[in-house]
């Protein structure tokens, strides 16, 4: 363990501490003013742009998470309850696209949704529309569609695992006692699969809040997220301390929301037991 | 498996939904290969005609070949290191029940649940403060951080279902610790090792979010593609390159997932065993 632990300390803990430290510095020309100050955090708190981007990121991620879980639940349910042969093949098929390059999957959506993309160009040349449909590209809608597609595997796997674990005799007992399919689902299947639903929430919500590629390629000005702002601080704007402070604020938000999810799943687990 | 039970009765609507779901899952990704064989420079229906011109173009570009070579070098080093560290971690986790063990596993899994951008900028700050210039080595370091959770997660089930008495028997018969590991433990966890190597290589090969912050002058393939995306006339060659990368990842990952399940109980078998005695 010790080499792995050592690597984790150097690769995870130390960079994080460096990030925390530099967030209390300020930019000074091309260098840093190393006096410790809350100046960056005060700016994030007072200037509306930061709060607006942060809340938009959390909102987009929230919509993506809910949409992905709702769309993936029937799929996971189907494989858990109705597929009896080649289950492994189905699981591999459902998760395979997730392993291909993230950048390429997002690029694929740009090819499909873009002004010159598959949908618009085809509809134009068929004469069905007069001008490109603008809502398809450079909008929060495009970001939401793309992210929901890109993170589907993160919902399917935990949902499948929790559904697969459900003791089938409970359902049979409910059926014998006269519960119909709907009541069986809402009184047994859904409550028992809640741990899977919660971990899917966890696994999708957290990484999507920090995404900057999807908004950069498909978001346009109204679809920019906090990740784009952080990336700018380390690029064109060249204000590393500010970028560090934004990263810390994002991490704190994620941690806070994560703790709420965790507390919820504890409560649910206790109720189930 | 209670296949004939009225609860598991086939459900047409659900089957249809599953098929639509799979189609939508694959359709966007398949658009890339479809248009990479298209003669027209713009991506639209109807297709203009079949051509391999964009693929031939790729071979004449030194920057593509250089980026490919960079990606392969980083990927091989990262997959070997991540799997070695993952092996050590998985073995230590299952060998002895240390206090605070769950915390250590959670710590190792941390990169899975923290946005990549935060690791990217944190490592960038660290490297620049200690004066390490950005290069393929810094890229590899970043990849190692995010590959480790996948290596541990792939290898851990191998060690968990492991009968320790076999190792003890080997020790009793006079093998020392190293030979026991090499001749007894290693062959049993080998499918997991192969799966971990292939998966971590694929992750490193495809990684963009962290690489963007940590790469210097030497571009990896995803960085090269990103740099070409702003030129519309480069679209077809990017499509061709993407198609090749997609094909490589699909094959690698399918092999990894298939090998990774060898020897592990299949869901159906586990089910049968669970229901069997009752």
Q: Of A75-79, B34-38, B143-147, which gets the smallest average pLDDT? A: B34-38
Rounded mean pLDDT of A234-243? 90
Asked whether residue B31 is assigned to any structural domain, the reply reads no
Rounded mean pLDDT of B50-60? 83
Q: Into how many domains does chain B fold?
A: 1
Please report the pLDDT score of residue A217 as a whole number: 86
Report CA-CA distances (Å) from B187 to B182, B190, B278.
7, 5, 34
Long-range contacts of A255-263 (CB under 8 A, 24+ apart): A257/A58, A257/A205, A258/A202, A258/A206, A258/B113, A261/A198, A261/A201, A261/A202, A261/A205
- Residue B35, helix vs strand vs coil: helix
User: B123, A15: Cβ pair inside 8 Å?
Assistant: yes
Q: What is the CATH number of the domain that holds A114?
A: 1.10.3720.10
Rounded mean pLDDT of B96-118? 78
**B66, B30, B36, B42: which is closest to B54 by C-alpha?**
B36
Q: Into how many domains does chain A fold?
A: 1
Please report the pLDDT score of residue B276 as a whole number: 40
Residue B149, token pair as written in the block? 């959770």
Please report the pLDDT score of residue B278 as a whole number: 34
Model pLDDT for residues B184-212, shown as the tens digit of each residue = 777 888 888 988 998 899 889 889 999 99
Tell me, what DSSP letter sits at residue A133? -
Does the pLDDT at position A268 exceed 80?
no
Asked whether residue B35 is assigned to any structural domain, the reply reads no
Asked whether residue A80 is assigned to any structural domain, the reply reads yes
Q: Which of residues 162-221 of A touch B (CB under 8 A)?
A: 164, 168, 171-172, 175, 184, 202-203, 206-207, 209-213, 217
- The listed range with the strongest mean pLDDT (A7-11, B87-91, B208-212) is B208-212
Model pLDDT for residues B135-155, shown as the tens digit of each residue = 999 999 999 999 998 898 888
Please report the pLDDT score of residue B262 as a whole number: 67
User: A117, B8: Cβ pair inside 8 Å?
Assistant: no
Residue B219: φ, ψ to 5° = -85, 145
Average pLDDT, whole number, for chain A?
86
Model pLDDT for residues A125-172, shown as the tens digit of each residue = 787 877 777 777 778 888 999 999 988 888 898 899 889 888 888 888
- Residue A27, helix vs strand vs coil: strand
C-alpha span between B17 and B27 (Å, rounded): 15
Asked whether residue B70 is assigned to any structural domain, the reply reads yes
Q: Over pLDDT 90: what percentage of chain A?
A: 27
Q: What is the CATH number of the domain that holds B69?
A: 1.10.3720.10
C-alpha span between B65 and B43 (Å, rounded): 25
Which residues have a Cβ under 8 Å from the Cβ of B215 and sit 6 or more positions away?
Answer: B134, B135, B136, B138, B139, B223
Chain B residues touching residue A164 (CB < 8 angstroms): 267
Rounded mean pLDDT of A113-136? 76
Using a CB–CB cutoff of 8 Å, tell me whether A89 touches chain B: no
Dihedral over alpha carbons B162, B164, B166, B170 (to 10 degrees): 130
> CA triplet A165, A195, A13: central angle to 5 degrees?
120
Asked whether residue A37 is assigned to any structural domain, the reply reads no
Alpha carbon of A48: minimum distance to chain B alpha carbons (Å): 22
Given a contact cutoff of 8 angstroms between Cβ atoms, the answer to whether B50 and B37 are in contact is yes
Please report the pLDDT score of residue A75 as a whole number: 93
Using a CB–CB cutoff of 8 Å, tell me whether B104 touches chain A: yes
Please report the pLDDT score of residue B8 as a whole number: 59
Does the pLDDT at position B270 exceed 50?
no
User: A1, B89: Cβ pair inside 8 Å?
Assistant: yes
C-alpha span between B102 and B91 (Å, rounded): 14
CB-neighbour burial class of residue B109 (10 A; exposed 0-12, middle 13-18, buried 19+): middle
Dihedral over alpha carbons B245, B247, B248, B251 (to 10 degrees): 150
Smallest Cβ–Cβ distance between A111 and the set B43, B104, B222 belongs to B43
**What angle in degrees, to the nearest 10, is found between the helix axes of A48-81 and A39-46?**
80
Using a CB–CB cutoff of 8 Å, tell me whether A133 touches chain B: no
Please report the pLDDT score of residue B45 as a whole number: 67
Chain A residues touching residue B250 (CB < 8 angstroms): 96, 100
Alpha carbon of A46: minimum distance to chain B alpha carbons (Å): 23
Question: Which structural domain, as residue segments, surrounds residue B118?
Answer: 61-275
Q: For residue A28, what are the β-bridge partners?
A: A31
Please report the pLDDT score of residue B97 as a whole number: 63
Please report the pLDDT score of residue B3 as a whole number: 41
Asked whether residue A34 is assigned to any structural domain, the reply reads no
Rounded mean pLDDT of A59-70? 94
Confidence band, pLDDT 50/70/90 cuts, at residue B264: low
Which residues have a Cβ under 8 Å from the Cβ of A88 and sit 6 or more positions away?
Answer: B261, B266, B267
Given a contact cutoff of 8 angstroms between Cβ atoms, the answer to whether A25 and A36 are in contact is yes
C-alpha span between B247 and B55 (Å, rounded): 14
The larger pLDDT score, comparing residue B87 to residue A34, is at B87
Asked whether residue A41 is assigned to any structural domain, the reply reads no
Asked whether residue A108 is assigned to any structural domain, the reply reads yes
Given a contact cutoff of 8 angstroms between Cβ atoms, the answer to whether A77 and A163 are in contact is yes
Does the pLDDT at position B65 exceed 50?
yes
Given a contact cutoff of 8 angstroms between Cβ atoms, the answer to whether B213 and B124 are in contact is yes
Question: Which structural domain, as residue segments, surrounds residue A69?
Answer: 55-272
User: A12, B111: Cβ pair inside 8 Å?
Assistant: yes
Alpha carbon of A223: minimum distance to chain B alpha carbons (Å): 18
Using a CB–CB cutoff of 8 Å, tell me whether B117 touches chain A: yes
Confidence band, pLDDT 50/70/90 cuts, at residue A84: confident
Residue in the structure block whose two tokens are 């609860």? B7
Chain A residues touching residue B17 (CB < 8 angstroms): 74-75, 78
Report strand pairing: A26-28 vs A31-33: antiparallel
Q: For residue A27, what are the β-bridge partners?
A: A32
Does the pLDDT at position A63 exceed 90?
yes
């Amino acid at each position: 363990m010790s080499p792995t632990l050592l690597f984790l300390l150097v690769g995870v803990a130390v960079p994080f501490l460096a990030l925390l430290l530099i967030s209390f510095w300020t930019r000074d020309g091309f260098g840093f003013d190393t006096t410790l100050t809350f100046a960056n955090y005060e700016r994030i708190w007072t200037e509306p742009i930061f709060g607006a981007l942060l809340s938009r990121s959390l909102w987009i991620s929230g919509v993506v998470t809910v949409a992905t879980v709702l769309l993936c639940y029937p799929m996971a349910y189907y494989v858990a309850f109705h597929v009896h042969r080649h289950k492994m093949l189905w699981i591999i098929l459902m998760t395979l696209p997730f392993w291909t390059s993230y950048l390429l999957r997002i690029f694929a959506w740009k090819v499909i949704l873009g002004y010159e993309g598959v949908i618009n160009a085809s509809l134009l040349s068929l004469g069905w529309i007069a001008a490109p449909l603008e809502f398809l590209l450079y909008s929060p809608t495009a970001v939401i569609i793309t992210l929901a597609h890109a993170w589907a595997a993160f919902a399917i796997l935990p949902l499948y695992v929790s559904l697969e674990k459900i003791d089938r005799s409970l359902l049979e007992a409910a059926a014998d006692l006269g519960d119909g399919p709907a009541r069986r689902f809402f009184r047994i299947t859904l409550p028992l699969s809640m741990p899977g639903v919660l971990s899917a929430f966890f696994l999708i919500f957290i990484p999507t809040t920090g995404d900057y590629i999807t908004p950069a390629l498909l978001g346009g000005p109204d679809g920019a997220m906090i990740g784009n702002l952080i990336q700018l601080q380390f690029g064109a704007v060249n204000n590393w301390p500010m970028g560090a402070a934004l990263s810390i604020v994002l991490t704190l938000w994620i941690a806070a929301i994560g703790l709420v999810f965790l507390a919820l799943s504890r409560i649910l687990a206790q109720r189930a037991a | 498996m209670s296949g004939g039970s009225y609860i598991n009765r086939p459900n047409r609507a659900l089957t249809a939904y599953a098929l639509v779901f799979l189609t939508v899952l694959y359709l966007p990704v398949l658009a890339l290969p479809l248009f990479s064989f298209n003669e027209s420079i713009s991506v639209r229906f109807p297709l203009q005609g079949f051509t391999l011109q964009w693929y031939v173009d790729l071979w004449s570009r030194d920057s593509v070949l250089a980026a490919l070579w960079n990606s392969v070098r980083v990927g091989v080093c990262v997959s070997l290191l991540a799997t070695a560290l993952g092996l050590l971690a998985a073995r230590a986790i299952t060998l002895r029940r240390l206090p605070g063990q769950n915390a250590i596993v959670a710590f190792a899994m941390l990169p899975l649940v923290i946005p990549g951008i935060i690791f990217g900028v944190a490592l960038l700050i660290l490297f620049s403060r200690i004066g390490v210039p950005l290069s393929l080595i810094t890229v590899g370091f970043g990849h190692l951080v995010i590959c480790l959770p996948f290596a541990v997660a792939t290898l851990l089930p191998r060690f968990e279902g492991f009968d320790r008495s076999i190792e003890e028997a080997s020790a009793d018969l006079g093998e020392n610790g190293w030979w026991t590991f090499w001749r007894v433990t290693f062959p049993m966890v080998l499918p997991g090792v192969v799966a971990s190597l292939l998966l971590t290589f694929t992750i490193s090969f495809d990684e963009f979010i962290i690489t963007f912050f940590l790469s210097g002058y030497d571009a990896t393939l995803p960085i090269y593609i990103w740099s070409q995306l702003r030129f519309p006339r480069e679209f077809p060659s990017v499509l061709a390159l993407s198609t090749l990368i997609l094909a490589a990842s699909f094959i690698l990952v399918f092999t990894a997932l298939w090998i990774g399940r060898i020897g592990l109980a299949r869901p159906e078998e586990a089910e049968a065993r669970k229901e069997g005695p009752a």
